[in-house]
Chains A and B, each alone.
Chain A
Amino acid sequence: MTTIRITGLGKRYGATTALDDLDLTIGRGVTGLLGPNGAGKTTLLRCLGTAQAPDSGRIEVFGLNPAVAAERTALRRRLGYLPQSPGLYPNFTAAALLDYVAVLKELTGTRQRRAEVRRVLDEVGLTDRARTKVRKLSGGMRQRLGLAQALLGTPDLLILDEPTVGLDPEQRMFFRALISRLGETRTVLLSTHQTEDVSALCERVIVLRAGRAVFDGTPRELAALAQGQVWLSADPPAGGSMYWRTADGDYRTLGVRPPGGAAVRPSIEDGYLTLLGPDAATAVR
């Protein structure tokens, strides 16, 4: 089932092209957006989230056109959004902040709002922090709170802009488990720099470069782009290829086979690096 249909989407900021005649369709499940900085990921998410209007092209989400005021509001009722840097009021408690967003999401009944706040706090594991002020929460907890506000009202579409950035491994595992669970029943679109997140979570991955989709497929298909180009060898390659020394002391090369190199199975990161070439250097962390 198609949730999002994008046709000929374009957006410019002065001389910079953020989105360039982009066509996409996205359905239920978890879809990952990968791409170097400035590839247009956040702009695309903001356009889909109705925070920004494109210069050209058409967006349809659940058959609704956000360019039309009434349909935009209808779409916002079915949307949960976690921005890249969710600015949360530091002096609000976690529960008060969620209560505020619940009102913005038109949950006007007090009882209904309280139940919903309780539900999302439980879902992100912050029940015991309900009365803690935002400024006293750790970075990971704030990120969870950001996700909790996105979950209010049980949205059909979740847009998450780099949800795992800056999290420790434990918190990242928590987010992954939660996002994969959410993706079972709704459409989740997440932008990330973490190729590990994509391989762990996404059924589908779209790679953007300079506002265009340069890859659209499964994580396995992305990894396969580097098939026959990843090698392990005792000595470094002569040059021209990307390589690094592993913890075992071997050299892992992406590109031309080094002397004595044994082929290894490529990862998503290998596929991504092969696809983007030099541009990828700014994207992979």
Chain B
Amino acid sequence: MPWHVDEPLLEAYQQGRLDPSRVMAVDAHLQACPACRSAVPADAEWLDRSWEAVLDLIRTPAPGPVERAAERAGLPGHRLRLLAATPALRWSWLAATVAVLTFGVVAAYAGDARTSLTWFLVAAPLLPVLAVATAYGPPFDPMHEITSMTPSAGPALVLWRATAVVGVSMALGLVAAALLPGPGWYAAAWLLPAFLLSVGTLALATVLPLPVAAGLLATGWVIVAGGVSIAGEADLPVVFGPAAQSGYLLAAALAAGVLTRRRRRLDPGESR
């Protein structure tokens, strides 16, 4: 005669009073026996809720390491989703940035220290500018057409992404600069030019398309800073001296003012 779950056992099972081995035995029987299964009252609402929770777990994409770190830093989840799609925050971009910086550091140790350091200082500010140029809009964002027709498109999204990429690329640059030979303050000499070029790019993007604005400023910087550095004889080229740094700070403040005033005109590449 086949065994079935009797009433006292069923009651204990429902109330959670059985030990694990007996729960497993009842579970196994219920799966095979429709008659006993129908005797277990089902809370449809609870089942639906549980099922939804299980589906959420299965379908929700697991956050990547960058997202997890930013979450710990207090950024809300939806903001992270927006930033995670930024082209310049993808692994390939980060790897390229690290490779360029590593090359700069290795060159500084391997060759003539002064020349290598000077070129590091000239090149390092270009990394955040490049990241800003590719942070939003065509041709770097394959989903730009879809993005541009959503309510989040526009200046706010550009600024969020630009802030994220400038932050990441400058942090990587700082690590590389700290590894360079020479006096410690030398390592920080590229920070203000980098900040100026990044904010300047965004300010200029209120008039020109973002990649064009970045290209103009980056080219101008390489010609001026590179030219002056090559021509100069001093240990520290004049473009990284205290007077120049004050000028960069002032110009960055001006660019930030222009950007704040004209932020609604920030053209991320749309034909508007």
Chain A interface (Cβ < 8 Å from any Cβ of B)? 49-53, 69, 73, 76-77, 79, 81, 83, 86-89, 91-93, 95-96, 99-101, 103-108, 110, 113-115, 117-118, 121, 130-131, 149
Q: Which residues, 117 to 172 on B, are CB-close (under 8 Å) to A?
A: 142-154, 157
Residue from B58, B61, B142 whose CB has the most chain A CB atoms within 10 Å:
B61
Q: Can you name the residue of chain A whose Cβ is closest to the Cβ of B56?
A: A114
Q: How many residues of B contact A (CB 8 A)?
A: 33
- B60's partner among A86, A95, A107 (CB-CB below 8 A) is A95
In the assembled complex, the CB of A152 is this many whole angstroms from the nearest CB of chain B, namely: 9
Contact yes or no, A83 B146, CB < 8 A: yes
Residue B270 at the chain A interface, CB threshold 8 Å: yes
A73 closest partner in B (C-beta): B151
Is the Cβ of B56 less than 8 Å from the Cβ of A100? no
> Is chain A's interface secondary structure helix, strand, loop, or mixed overall?
mixed
For B60, list chain A residues within 8 Å (CB).
95, 99, 114
In the bound complex, what is the Cα–Cα distance between A114 and B81 (angstroms)? 13
Q: Nearest B residue to A104 by beta-carbon distance?
A: B150
Once the chains bind, are B270 and A51 in contact (CB under 8 Å)?
Answer: yes
Q: When chains A and B are docked, how far (Å) is the Cα of A79 from the Cα of B143?
A: 16
Min CB distance, A85 to chain B, in Å?
A: 8
B143's partner among A69, A77, A88, A105 (CB-CB below 8 A) is A88
Residues of A within 8 A of B271 (CB): 51-53
A53 touches B272 (CB 8 A): yes
| B72 sits at the interface (CB 8 A) | no
**Within the assembled complex, what's the spacing in Å between the Cα atoms of A250 and B103?**
73
A53-B272, A110-B77, A114-B56 known; A86 vs B146 contact (CB < 8 Å) = yes
Contact of A130 among B59, B143, B264 (CB under 8 A): B59
Contact in complex: B78, A81 (CB < 8 Å): no
A99 & B145 in contact (Cβ 8 Å cutoff)? no
CB < 8 Å neighbour of A52 from B81, B84, B270: B270
Report the minimum CB–CB distance from A44 to chain B (whole Å): 14
The chain B residue sitting closest to A74, CB to CB, is B151
CA distance A101 to B151 in the complex (A): 10
B25 within 8 A of A: no
Question: Counting CB contacts under 8 A, is B69 at the interface?
Answer: no
A96 and B143 within 8 A (CB): no
Query: Nearest Cβ in chain A — how far from B18, in angstroms?
Result: 33
4 other A-B residue contacts (CB within 8 Å) besides A51-B149, A95-B60, A103-B78: A87-B145, A99-B81, A104-B82, A105-B152
Q: List 14 A-B contacts (CB under 8 A).
A: A51-B145, A51-B271, A76-B153, A81-B146, A91-B90, A99-B61, A101-B150, A104-B147, A104-B150, A104-B152, A105-B151, A106-B150, A118-B55, A121-B59
Q: Are B142 and A105 in contact (CB under 8 A)?
A: no
Contact of A100 among B52, B81, B145, B148 (CB under 8 A): B81
Q: Which of B40-59 contact A (CB under 8 A)?
A: 52, 55-56, 58-59
Establish whether residues A76 and B82, one from each chain, have CB atoms under 8 Å apart when the complex forms: no
From A89, A104, A113, A130, B142 is in contact (CB under 8 Å) with: A89
Nearest Cβ distance between residue B135 and chain A, in whole angstroms? 15
Contacting pair B143 A117 (CB below 8 A) = no
Asked whether B85 is an interface residue with its Cβ less than 8 Å from the other chain, the reply is yes
> Which chain A residues lie closer than 8 Å to B55 at the CB level?
118
Chain B 67-81 per-residue mask, 1 if CB under 8 angstroms from chain A, else 0 = 000000000111001
B61 A95 Cβ-Cβ under 8 A: yes
Closest to A96 in B: B61
| A residues in contact with B90, CB < 8 Å | 91
Nearest CB of chain A from residue B84's CB, rounded to whole Å: 7
Those 8 A-B pairs whose CB atoms lie nearest each other, nearest first: A87-B142, A96-B61, A104-B150, A130-B59, A76-B151, A108-B78, A104-B152, A103-B81
Q: Give every chain B residue within 8 A of A118 (Cβ-Cβ).
A: 55, 59
Nearest B-chain residue to A84, judged by Cβ: B145
Chain A residue at minimum C-beta to C-beta distance from B139? A87
Separation of A49 and B150 alpha carbons in the complex (Å): 9
Complex-state Cα separation, A96 to B67, whole angstroms: 13
